[in-house]
Amino acid sequence: MTLLSRMIWAISGFNALLGRLFSTFSLAIVLVCFTVVVLRYVFSISFIWMQDLYVWMNGIMFTGIAGYVFLRNGHVRVDVFYRPASLRRKAWIDLIGSLIFLTPFCYAIIYWGWDYVRRSWRISESSLNAGGLEGLFIVKTFIMVFAVVIALQGLAMVLRSILVLMRRDDLVPPSFRYSA
């Protein structure tokens, strides 16, 4: 049982770290976007690479923090049945939902996205815009990052569900416990 708890702590800690790291991109995105607007409308100067930069940073941020958002229960959920449910019923819903819906979803993204990302790396894909940034392949890699961090947090959810169903919810990290 403590192994399951340690795995939940490790996965949740990893996603919390990624969440804090990539959430800092939001300030950088705002600053770059603001700079683009000022340069364009005040000085009549435009740099395509700066426009690519804030769009790419946005994509990296949102795919990188997906596991953290899942950890914090921030993804869309139909709460009609879930919210009033008991802890054990929530654990069953999460366990079955993760195995039936989340696992195939993550598998499909990895399965069909792998060649897409690999091809991008093979050709060192860059922006299609003239004067755009190099390194689009790095951004596309975050498709895989997204699938992995969501799958890992889904595994943590499954392990949490198992602990709750075995009446060992005391081993679940406080930040990942079910709300009553």
Q: How confident is the model at residue 18 (pLDDT cuts 50, 70, 90)?
A: very high
For residues 39-64, give the mean pLDDT.
94
Per DSSP, helices labelled H in 77-177 are 79-82, 87-97, 103-122, 136-165
Instruction: Give the residue with greater pLDDT, 118 vs 169.
Output: 118
Percent with pLDDT over 70 in the chain = 98
Please state, in angstroms and rounded to a whole number, the distance separating the CA atoms of residues 152 and 14.
9
How high is the pLDDT of residue 168? 86
pTM of the model: 0.87
Q: So where are the chain's domains? A: 2-176
Predicted confidence (pLDDT) per residue in 106-139, tens digit: 999 999 999 999 999 999 999 988 888 999 999 9
Average pLDDT, the chain: 91
Please state, in angstroms and rounded to a whole number, the distance separating the CA atoms of residues 131 and 91.
51
Who contacts 83 (Cβ-Cβ below 8 Å, separation ≥6)?
none
Q: How confident is the model at residue 82 (pLDDT cuts 50, 70, 90)?
A: confident
Please state, in angstroms and rounded to a whole number, the distance separating the CA atoms of residues 58 and 26.
7
Exposed (0-12), middle (13-18) or buried (19+): which is 22, by Cβ within 10 Å? Answer: buried
How high is the pLDDT of residue 75? 74
How high is the pLDDT of residue 140? 96
Mean pLDDT is lowest, of 79-93, 127-141, 153-167, for 79-93
Q: Is the pLDDT of residue 72 over 90?
A: no
Q: How confident is the model at residue 180 (pLDDT cuts 50, 70, 90)?
A: low
For residues 42-48, give the mean pLDDT.
93
How high is the pLDDT of residue 5? 86
